[in-house]
Amino acid sequence: MAKLLVVDDDKNLRTLYEQELGDEGYQVTLAASGPEALEYLKKDRPNLIILDISMPGMDGIEALGKILAKDKSMPVILNTAYSTYKDNFMTWSADAYVVKSGDLTELKAKIKEVLKQRGIEV
Amino acid sequence: MPESESTPARVLVVEDDAGAAQSQEALLQQGGFRTASCRSGAEALARAQTEPFDLVLLDIDLPGEPGALALTRELKKAPHLAWMPVMFVAGQISAEVVAKVYEAGGDEFIAHPFKPDELIVRAKVLSRKGREERWLVERARKLAEKIAERDDELDDLRRFAQDIVSSLPSAIMVLDAQKQILFVNAPLLQWLGLERREVINKNLVEFTRDGLTGDPLAEAIAGATGSGQPRRLRRVTGLFASRPDRVSDLTVAAIDYAGERQVLVVIEDVTEQARAEAAVARERAKLHDIVNALNAALCLVDRERAVIWKNRTFDLWFGDAFGQPGLQAFLDRIPKGQGWWQSVFQKGQVHHQTWSVFTVHGQRRFFANIIAPIQAEDGEPISQALILTQDVTEQETRVEQLSLLRELSQFLQQTLDGERLNHVILLCVTAGHALGFNRAFLFKRNHQNSRLEARMAVGPTSREEAFRIWAEISSHGRTLHELVEELDRYPSRETPLFAMVRQLSYAMDDPSEIVVRTALEKKPQVLTAPAHDERVTDHFRRVFGHAEFVSVPMVAKGSVVGVLLADNLYSGRAITEDHVKLLSLFGAQAALAIENAETYAELRKSMSELRSAQEKIVHAEKLAAVGKMAAHVAHEIRNPLATIGGFARAVLKRPENVERVQRNVGIISEEASRLENMLKGVMDFARPTSPVFKLGDLNAVVQKAFRAHAEPLGQKKIQAELDLDSSLPEVGFDEGQILQVLHNLIRNAADSMPNGGAFLLKTGREGEMATIMVQDTGCGIPPEVRDRMFSPFVTTKPDGTGLGLAVTKKIVDDHLGVIRCESTPGEGTTFQIGLPLRQPASGTWLREAPPAGTPAPPLGEVRGVPSTGD
């Protein structure tokens, strides 16, 4: 069972991801901010990180840099309300870029795809 | 008049024979007489004494004593009976009898026996004669009585007149037409020291002083005699040669005495009186001299402002002589209708006033009046007032010179428009009486071509115009303020005088020109006689004339800005050292003002360049901001939308799991309200309603907000305190908007203290601002956020919209208020809002909003005017 870390400052959105991705059979861990996520990564290594960009304090791009600096191979899907960040070259270092939507089909597909690319069993 | 004929005459019949008497009576009665009879002479005498009879018919042979003749004699002896006619009845009338009867006084005879007709006729004739005689006798008697009475009166009058004449203090004499002295009284003799005999029948000329009788007295005598009217001579000194020191008043009257024209002279000794009068006159003259010598105008006016008396200074100042203010100008200052004028007369109050007037020479003179009531007699109403007027021009001029400089510098500070400034400078030089030059010219230094160029000129171009203007000014008495105001209404520098000099331009390296030399030496130059002064060029003389003039440099910060030139071409008033000093001081002020104006002009130019550049930037930024805002809104909406959509799908997918559906739907509705709130915030920010200012109690609103939050704060274990400044005056604000500001700030404070703390809401006053302080002991605002915390969509809260402080800032700005924040992370945050206490007077503050991005000014600094609708 793959372990996912969801980083988002929106509490209800975190709840949604926990519930929906849990239904998909993933083990979901939640973090409300970049620092909280980095703190978690010190103790455990998820198979995939779903990272929000727009967050107060440390934003997703900064968090991504710090995560990759520690573990270059960490798979990360950027999940944001903006499509504009696609132009930021930093986002290129992420495995995928998914615009937030009430329809989680694309996100779920990307998770599967990335895990598959990395050879991780679902 | 005799008794009327109709009255029957009464006849007394005297007859011892009763029968004869009876028949005579009967006869007479038949003839219309009334009769009485007696038998004896004694009886007849007694009756005649007591009863009036018109006729006595007497029997010549009457027996007894007295007999007929004796009776007649008795009757004729009594004066009141003498007139009564007596007719004798005789038997025989002989010559002897006739002689006896007539001798006795009898009047008539009738022979006995007689014919009845004869008796009647003769009795009638005789009785009428008797009556007439009686009337005449009565009349004569009465007249005699009256004459006797008059004689008595006359005697009394004469005695009275003598008493008067002798007791009169006045000396009296009576002269004949040749001035021969006919009468003198005791006082005159006393005065002359002579006896009566030494005077009477002498000629007046012997006693009077030489020559005196020739003219005034002689004339008076001639005048009085000629016209019959008395003549008076007053204050004749030394009338009599023996008493040359005496002064007398004379009355000369013509009198007629016993058909002769005489002259009555009454002489009164008024020597003491005359001496007293002379003393008074001397005192008066002395006073008059003092009053006239006074350097103050004095006049006496009545209630109707008619000048009753005035001194020489008054005439000098207010006489209608050419060049003076004139009497009317003086009277204009004491209008009858004024309340104080009434109180001078009614309450006897002294009134002080100062006033000024322009002479026809265009000079202003200042006067101080003291108006004092003059009471004629005790209890009499005040009918006159004494006005003492002093010329205080000198003092006023000194005062005005000082205040003028201050006023001028104010004027000049306010004037930044170059053209207007030049004009105001020259108005100051010409209009105020402190300087009051006839003409003034301003040359300004042109740094580009190093020349001094004529830029403005003020003053009349001809003597006629000068006098016309002065007359106008003196009637209007316009102040410098008014002149400048007028200048703003008709701002034209194209005066005829300027046309005369506008072409003038002097090279700064040509010291032969006086204007240039003034600038080079930086010293004032006074040329008393330019006509013969080598420092002046011929060209200059042709343009400016030959009048004395002064040329003053205008130096600001060590460099010459220009030169002022002024003269008194028309009035010819000398230019004093004072004027030069004042003009120099003024020149320095003017130079500073010109420099200010030039700096301001440059500043304004770069300001406008800056502004247009800024407008471009602002426009670009606006576009960028719109994009940014759209992105923010998209992001902020997308999160809740994604959440709602996700949970909705989850519910659709697993409708059977009731517990989960309930939780999911709960979150959906929560997110929906979050969206609504956010939308509301966006709307508030993007389209905030204009504030509606109302004067109100700020404390009440603050208290309202505090109460609304007291409970939630208490639940969070926050100790909340409210501190209201009760002395705060009413403030103009929009209650709804200020409440929203307070809600935002209080909610932020509450959110910053999740574990409790202290909260303080306080009102106060700082300068012209009412202040509201919102203080918490919460987590504080991170420094990196503080710079942009008032920008929209900036938040530190997970579920914040980032609009609270942005809206707060906008509302405070709309109120022309200020907001500032002090925050230390971990210790707390203090927001302070200042709202202006006063609605500023329109036009005194800038209307433009500060450019975007300008930092909020410190408290106490107001920048703007509350807009009232736009």
CATH label of the domain that carries residue B87: 3.40.50.2300
For range B205-221, the mean pLDDT? 71
Q: Which residue, among B633, B647, B665, would best test binding to A if mutated, counting the most A CBs under 10 Å from its CB?
A: B647
Contacts of B514 (CB under 8 A, 6+ apart): B525, B527, B535, B536, B537, B540, B551
Average pLDDT of chain B is 81
Q: Cα dist. B723→B383, B708, B768, B834 in Å?
A: 70, 16, 20, 16
Instruction: Dig out the tokens for A104 from the structure.
Output: 């989680």
Instruction: Answer with the one of B604, B623, B641 that is the final residue of a domain.
Output: B604
Confidence (pLDDT) at B211 = 54
How far is residue A120's CA from residue A113's CA, in Å, rounded to a whole number? 10
Per the CB < 8 A criterion, the answer to whether B297 and B318 are in contact is yes
B570 in any annotated domain: yes
Name the band, by pLDDT with cuts 50, 70 and 90, for residue B842.
very low
B259 in any annotated domain: yes
B672 CB near a chain A CB, below 8 Å? no
Confidence (pLDDT) at B474 = 52
One-letter amino acid for residue B362 of the chain: G
- What are the chain B neighbours of A32 within 8 Å (beta carbons)? 798
How far is residue B109's CA from residue B98's CA, in Å, rounded to a whole number? 8
Residues B105, B238 share a domain: no
How far is residue B540's CA from residue B538's CA, in Å, rounded to a whole number? 5
Please judge whether A102 and B645 are an interchain contact, meaning their C-beta atoms are less than 8 angstroms apart: yes
B5 in any annotated domain: no
Least CB–CB distance from B645: residue in A9, A10, A103: A103
Confidence (pLDDT) at B234 = 83
Q: Which residue, among A9, A10, A11, A12, would best test binding to B if mutated, counting the most B CBs under 10 Å from its CB?
A: A12
Residues B109, B208 share a domain: no
Q: Which residue, among B633, B636, B638, would best test binding to A if mutated, counting the most A CBs under 10 Å from its CB?
A: B638
Cα angle B790, B795, B801 (rounded to 5 degrees) comes to: 95
Higher pLDDT, B451 or B239: B451
ipTM reported for the complex, 2 dp: 0.83
How far is residue A66's CA from residue A72's CA, in Å, rounded to a whole number? 10
Least-confidence region, from B138-147, B416-425, B676-685: B676-685
- What are the chain A neighbours of B667 within 8 Å (beta carbons)? 12, 15-16
B61 CB near a chain A CB, below 8 Å? no
B527 in any annotated domain: yes
Burial class (CB in 10 A: 0-12, 13-18, 19+), B531: exposed
Cα angle B624, B626, B630 (rounded to 5 degrees) comes to: 120
Interface of A with B (CB under 8 A): 9-13, 15-17, 19-20, 23, 32, 54, 56-57, 80-82, 84, 99-104
Confidence (pLDDT) at B685 = 62
* pLDDT of B218 higher than 80: no
Instruction: Answer with the one of B144, B178, B201 that is the final residue of a domain.
Output: B144
Per the CB < 8 A criterion, the answer to whether B419 and B491 are in contact is yes
For chain B, the domain total comes to 5
Helices (H), B109-230: 116-167, 186-192, 218-227
Please judge whether A56 and B796 are an interchain contact, meaning their C-beta atoms are less than 8 angstroms apart: yes
Q: Mark which residues 773-802 of B lie under 8 Å from A by CB.
A: 795-799
Please judge whether A10 and B798 are an interchain contact, meaning their C-beta atoms are less than 8 angstroms apart: yes
* pLDDT of B500 higher than 90: no
Which CATH number do you get for residue B491?
3.30.450.40
B283 in any annotated domain: no
* pLDDT of B847 higher than 70: no
B671 CB near a chain A CB, below 8 Å? yes
Nearest residue on chain A to B670, judged by CA atoms?
Answer: A12
B362 CB near a chain A CB, below 8 Å? no
On the question of a cis peptide bond just before residue A46, with omega within 30 degrees of 0, the verdict is: no
DSSP string, B661-716: HHHHHHHHHHHHHHHHHHHHHHHHHHSPPPP--EEE-HHHHHHHHHHHHHHHHHHT
What is the phi/psi pair of residue B758, to 5°? -120, 140
CA quadruple B853, B859, B865, B870: dihedral, nearest 10: 50
Least CB–CB distance from B644: residue in A15, A17, A102: A102
* pLDDT of B212 higher than 60: no
On the question of a cis peptide bond just before residue B66, with omega within 30 degrees of 0, the verdict is: yes
Nearest residue on chain A to B672, judged by CA atoms?
Answer: A12
How far is residue B467's CA from residue B469's CA, in Å, rounded to a whole number? 5
Per the CB < 8 A criterion, the answer to whether B436 and B570 are in contact is no
How far is residue B647's CA from residue B655's CA, in Å, rounded to a whole number? 11
- What are the chain A neighbours of B796 within 8 Å (beta carbons)? 56-57
**What is the percent of chain A where pLDDT is above 90?**
48
Per the CB < 8 A criterion, the answer to whether B514 and B536 are in contact is yes
Domain extent, residue B99, equals: 10-144
B15 in any annotated domain: yes
Nearest residue on chain B to A22, judged by CA atoms?
Answer: B650
Cα angle B627, B631, B633 (rounded to 5 degrees) comes to: 115
* pLDDT of B571 higher than 90: no
Residues B462, B408 share a domain: yes
Interval B450-461: pLDDT, tens: 899 998 888 888
Q: Which residue, among A6, A9, A15, A16, would best test binding to B if mutated, counting the most B CBs under 10 Å from its CB?
A: A16
* pLDDT of B850 higher than 50: no
One-letter amino acid for residue B350 of the chain: V
How far is residue B439's CA from residue B626's CA, in Å, rounded to a whole number? 63
- What are the chain B neighbours of A16 within 8 Å (beta carbons)? 642-643, 646-647, 650, 667
Please judge whether B796 and A101 are an interchain contact, meaning their C-beta atoms are less than 8 angstroms apart: no
Which CATH number do you get for residue B211?
3.30.450.20
Confidence (pLDDT) at B528 = 87
Residues B557, B705 share a domain: no
Residues B187, B140 share a domain: no
Name the band, by pLDDT with cuts 50, 70 and 90, for residue B830.
very high
B775 in any annotated domain: yes
Which pTM value belongs to this model?
A: 0.35
Name the band, by pLDDT with cuts 50, 70 and 90, for residue B843.
very low
Beta bridge partners of B181: B175
Residues B598, B717 share a domain: no
Please judge whether A13 and B634 are an interchain contact, meaning their C-beta atoms are less than 8 angstroms apart: no
Q: Can you list the pairs that B576-581 forms with residues at least 24 positions away whose Cβ atoms lie under 8 Å? A: B578/B401, B579/B435, B579/B437, B579/B550, B580/B524, B580/B526, B580/B550, B580/B552
Name the band, by pLDDT with cuts 50, 70 and 90, for residue B776.
very high
- What are the chain A neighbours of B649 within 8 Å (beta carbons)? 102-104
Please judge whether A103 and B799 are an interchain contact, meaning their C-beta atoms are less than 8 angstroms apart: no
CA neighbor of B648 nearest in space, from B664, B672, B669:
B664
For range B351-371, the mean pLDDT? 80
* pLDDT of B779 higher than 70: yes
Using the 8-state DSSP alphabet, how is residue B78 labeled? S
One-letter amino acid for residue B662 of the chain: Q
Instruction: Dig out the tokens for B435 from the structure.
Output: 């300087």
Residues B818, B727 share a domain: yes
Per the CB < 8 A criterion, the answer to whether A121 and A2 are in contact is yes
* pLDDT of B854 higher than 60: no
B323: left (phi over 0), alpha (psi -120 to 50) or beta: left
Beta-sheet pairing, A27-31 with A48-52: unpaired
The minimum CA-CA distance between B668 and chain A, rounded to whole Å, is: 9
Instruction: Dig out the tokens for B28 from the structure.
Output: 């007479």
Name the band, by pLDDT with cuts 50, 70 and 90, for residue A85.
low
Please judge whether B646 and A54 are an interchain contact, meaning their C-beta atoms are less than 8 angstroms apart: no
Per the CB < 8 A criterion, the answer to whether B33 and B123 are in contact is yes
Q: Which residue, among B628, B632, B633, B635, would best test binding to A if mutated, counting the most A CBs under 10 Å from its CB?
A: B635
Please judge whether A100 and B631 are an interchain contact, meaning their C-beta atoms are less than 8 angstroms apart: no
Residues B406, B383 share a domain: no
Confidence (pLDDT) at B593 = 82
Confidence (pLDDT) at B383 = 84
Residues B172, B137 share a domain: no
Per the CB < 8 A criterion, the answer to whether A86 and A106 are in contact is no
Q: Which CATH class is domain A32-102?
A: alpha beta
* pLDDT of B19 higher than 60: yes
Residues B417, B383 share a domain: no
Average pLDDT of chain A is 87
Burial class (CB in 10 A: 0-12, 13-18, 19+), B490: exposed
Nearest residue on chain A to B667, judged by CA atoms?
Answer: A12
- What are the chain B neighbours of A101 within 8 Å (beta carbons)? 642, 645
* pLDDT of B866 higher than 50: no
Cα angle B315, B318, B319 (rounded to 5 degrees) comes to: 55
Per the CB < 8 A criterion, the answer to whether B18 and B64 are in contact is no
- What are the chain A neighbours of B650 within 8 Å (beta carbons)? 16, 19-20, 23
For range B349-378, the mean pLDDT? 80
Please judge whether B664 and A19 are an interchain contact, meaning their C-beta atoms are less than 8 angstroms apart: yes
Nearest residue on chain A to B660, judged by CA atoms?
Answer: A19
Instruction: Dig out the tokens for B404 from the structure.
Output: 């003028």
Please judge whether B670 and A54 are an interchain contact, meaning their C-beta atoms are less than 8 angstroms apart: no
One-letter amino acid for residue B593 of the chain: A
C-alpha B209 chain-centroid distance: 59
B231 in any annotated domain: yes
Name the band, by pLDDT with cuts 50, 70 and 90, for residue A91.
low
Strand order in the sheet with B260-269: B181-184, B171-175, B260-269, B247-257, B231-237
Least-confidence region, from B63-77, B644-658, B780-794: B780-794
Contacts of B404 (CB under 8 A, 6+ apart): B428, B432, B434, B435, B480, B582
Residues B336, B364 share a domain: yes
The minimum CA-CA distance between B829 and chain A, rounded to whole Å, is: 19
Please judge whether A19 and B799 are an interchain contact, meaning their C-beta atoms are less than 8 angstroms apart: no
How far is residue B818's CA from residue B135's CA, in Å, rounded to a whole number? 137
Residues B458, B372 share a domain: no
Burial class (CB in 10 A: 0-12, 13-18, 19+), B36: middle
Per the CB < 8 A criterion, the answer to whether B23 and B49 are in contact is no
Please judge whether A102 and B664 are an interchain contact, meaning their C-beta atoms are less than 8 angstroms apart: no
Instruction: Answer with the one of B109, B144, B179 that is the final residue of a domain.
Output: B144
Please judge whether A10 and B639 are an interchain contact, meaning their C-beta atoms are less than 8 angstroms apart: yes
Confidence (pLDDT) at B574 = 85
The minimum CA-CA distance between A114 and chain B, rounded to whole Å, is: 21
Name the band, by pLDDT with cuts 50, 70 and 90, for residue B472.
low
Per the CB < 8 A criterion, the answer to whether B191 and B271 are in contact is no
